[in-house]
Amino acid sequence: MIPRRAVATATAFSAAVMACALPTAHSGGVTGADLDEVVVNARRIPLAGAPRAASEGTVFAEQIRHRPLLRTGELLEVVPGLVVTQHTGDGKANQYFLRGFNLDHGTDFSTSVEGMPVNMPSHGHGQGYMDMNFVIPEFVERVVYRKGTYYPELGNFSAAGAAELRYARSLRPFMSLSRGEDGHLRAVSGGSLGALGGELLAGLEYDRNDGPWQLPEDQRKLNGVLRWSGGDEDAGLAVALMGYDGRWTATDQIPQRAIDDGRLDRFGFVDPTNGGSSHRYSLSTTGHLRVGDGTLGFDAWAIDYRLQLFSNFTYAINAEHGDQFEQFDERLVTGAALHYALPVRLGGEDSTWRSGIDLRHDDIAPVGLHLTTARLRRTTVREDDLRQTLAGAWTALDSRWTPWLRSELGLRADRLEARVESSLAANSGSAGDTIVSPKASFVIGPWRDTEFFAAAGRGFHSNDARGTTITVDPIDGASPAERVTPLVRATGAELGLRTALLPHTQLSVSLWQLELDSELLFVGDGGVTEPSRPSRRRGVELGIYARPLEGVIVDADLAWSNPRFRDADPAGDRIPGAVERVASLGITVERPSGWFGGLRLRYLGPAALVEDESVRSRPSTLVNVEFGRRFAERWSLRAGLYNALDREADDIGYFYESQLPGEAAPVADRHFHPVEPRSLRVTLELRM
């Protein structure tokens, strides 16, 4: 259950918001995608845009810039109902939770930055691996989010939802320096200037952190971006260079039994040599061009990516060498997308026909799994060269039949081709698959500033290509292994409404369902995921966005879901790691006097850790706070307090067998990664 105190707090703030009435209101958090902010003089926040579901929206920079972010990945928590945690070192991709999914590192939630995909298929650590460490939050102008399978333009990994991040075209030059506890140091500098008839945006970030761990994390991160953009409504172009390099030491999840008997501290470790390094360098372009009566948009990208990751989740089942393993992934990703939108007349009413194609090729050489001791390779379990191409085509007709009825009917088709050359010849081969996904949405209204939504459609995620050609277990090279389906179908539906009837407030409600033909589950002894049973999730989401006072934004989200396996199995029907309840409350303040700040309360509910629900994870309630003051329009000083209530909680929990040094046999136990204790960071910023 959600704690009564959290519910009472959210309710009190919501009631205060609804009771306020002042002369200035803005549109914002739950509006449709790709819209400029609208300022009006009225008691109500008007509905704007043309969303296809109540769970779609855009978050602008004004809501982002004062969010207290402990980690870069928490930027995605602007998506209502999405929670971001970590189960090991912060240099690694985060753990994501949404709509009853433990999304692992991104399997069913797709993200793009400046038109480039972030998720990595057939990845060395996990399918759909989504590492956000290359993003610089200060440069993000907006986040467009969509949840569900109803959007023709969204393809792989988007069954639960998707987010699109766009950087600002122009940005006032600035420099900032942050210092904090546990060795935290962060320096960011950037800005834009006119160049070649457009805007040249440049930025650099350096981040260092040891964390509260007994084994210092020694995280080092360097980010850079150089982006030129120019044009107008008829033609525009942007070209971006981005670079990220990071390395870290990791304290992986630890067993509860070692905490209970005093062998380990909550912030202790078992293997001091875990950790990794990663880089991501990219060149991308995005733009649009007026063609006839329509608009042609395009994106193209090339990404050089590498990850070397050392993990040890079971510790010492191999008493002689230990259980550490290395996952290695090096790839070149290239791709492009074209989309065209054309206004048409249908039945005497205005409509828009949209269509597009997208292509992505991953040249992975190699992707490998190796057994290691203190980061030295002992045995190669498997090493593969892999080439994977995913092509998609889609079309949609958006029609307004009457002033109060509009619809979108769409169709998407995707084709996957993969070729695997394995160190074990029996596991080499080729695989291909095609999936067709119909989509539909209907919108009724607005009546009295209220719209009603109904949407349904199919989506998919791909499985690791290595699993589509496997024939024998690479551990022993002989035992038969079952192949997986290359593309896994997802079917979803949603009913919802959004209303601006209450003063200075937008309210959205969604009732949704999503079925997957195959679930992905975490395997503790290998530290990887594998396909499992078909599943069904149902849920309800409530979102509130309000401006009770000038310069004050309040948002609150409540999400409940019912995740279950659909087939009959004596093991049980609960999906391990699937969180059922999530809640958040946020306040952002920016006053003319120069004071500003933000507060975030986040509740992550418990989850079954095994199919029969005999073991459950512990819920957590965290509060992060930021407050500061501007001086002379150029200088600002702010402080961030993270886990302000100093709660002793878990970022994530698992249940599996492990064996600590000195133990005679493996023990089934709860394993967890603790939430960081209360910490303070102070930032000084100069704007030119």
Q: What's residue 523's pLDDT?
A: 55
- pLDDT of the residue at 564: 96
pLDDT tens-place string over residues 187-218 = 999 999 999 999 999 999 999 999 999 999 99
User: Tokens for 633?
Assistant: 């329009």
Would you state the pLDDT for residue 333?
A: 98
User: Domain containing 538 — which CATH number?
Assistant: 2.40.170.20
Question: pLDDT value at position 347?
Answer: 72
pLDDT along the chain (688 residues), means of 10: 38 34 32 37 57 93 90 95 92 94 92 97 94 97 96 96 95 97 97 95 97 96 97 95 97 95 96 97 97 96 98 95 96 98 85 96 96 96 96 96 93 98 94 98 93 97 93 88 92 96 94 92 52 93 94 95 95 94 96 94 96 96 96 94 97 95 96 96 96
Per the structure, the count of domains in the chain is: 1
Give 3-state DSSP helix, strand, coil % of the chain, rounded to 5. Answer: 5, 55, 35
Q: With contact defined as beta carbons under 8 Å apart, do 531 and 484 qualify? A: yes
Strands 161-167 and 109-113: parallel
Cα 527 to Cα 124, 312, 524, distances in angstroms? 11, 8, 5
- Structural domain range at position 258: 4-687
> In sequence order, what are the beta bridge partners of 364?
331, 386
Burial class (CB in 10 A: 0-12, 13-18, 19+), 193: exposed
The Cα–Cα gap between 468 and 418 comes to 9
What does residue 166 show for φ and ψ, rounded to 5 degrees?
-125, 135
